[in-house]
Amino acid sequence: MIRCADIINESVVDGPGIRMVVFLQGCPRHCSGCHNEQLIPVEGGRQWAEEDFAELILGRLSPLHRGITFSGGDPLMQAEALATVAAIIKARRPVTDIWLYTGYVYEEIENFPVMKYVDVLVDGPFIKAQKNLDLAFRGSANQRIIDVAQTRAAGEVVECYFDNISKVG
């Protein structure tokens, strides 16, 4: 089972292009200044069977969507269920670009099964003292936008850099 708080069908601020954003319920961090405080409790949202949830997401995707962003809360509180959902999505629609926001850093989670389905990881907790609204697709300067495939190939973290919403490196 997976617990979802909300799904936004079209967003341009949670990764490049038109994206569906899936907000999963629950977060252990309680970061000061969290912009999704209502998603911290694990008992909120609605529970779904993983297969049904994947079908719901796939049914809402259109050819205009560049991808899906999993946010929260922290999606990795439900890492096993999310791996099942992501596997179904990638099997049915392999070109779907999957972004994942988490308070964990890559080095802590690189071997989680869900990571084989993630294209881009935005890692690290939100740190209020490092908040920067000029950063594309992240809230604080400590957070990294990581190209997961390139990172695995290189054996070290490879970050993506964006100027507003255009990738620059």
Judge: domain 2-167, CATH 3.20.20.70: yes
Query: What's the pLDDT at 169?
Result: 52
> What is the per-residue pLDDT for 164?
57
Q: In what order do the strands lie in the sheet with 2-11?
A: 46-48, 2-11, 19-24, 67-72, 97-101, 120-123, 144-147
> Mind listing the pLDDT tens digit for each residue in 11-66?
999 999 999 999 999 998 887 888 888 888 899 999 999 999 999 999 999 999 99
Indicate the domain borders of the chain.
2-167
**What pLDDT band is residue 165 in, cutting at 50, 70 and 90?**
low
More confident residue, 151 or 41: 151
Rounded (10°) CA dihedral 122, 125, 130, 133: 50
The number of CA neighbours under 13 Å toward the Cβ of 134 is 1
159 three-state secondary structure: strand
Percentage above 90 pLDDT, the chain? 83
Q: Are 81 and 102 in contact (CB under 8 A)?
A: no
Q: Concatenate the DSSP letters of all residues of 81-104 into one string.
A: HHHHHHHHHHHH-TT-EEEEE-SS
In this predicted structure, the answer to whether residue 163 has a pLDDT above a threshold of 80 is no
Cβ-proximal residues to 107 (8 Å cutoff; 6+ apart), any chain: 157
Q: What is the mean pLDDT of residues 82-87?
A: 98
pLDDT, mean over the chain: 93
Q: How far is residue 6 CA from its own chain's centroid? A: 13
Supply the pLDDT for residue 85.
98
Reported pTM: 0.93
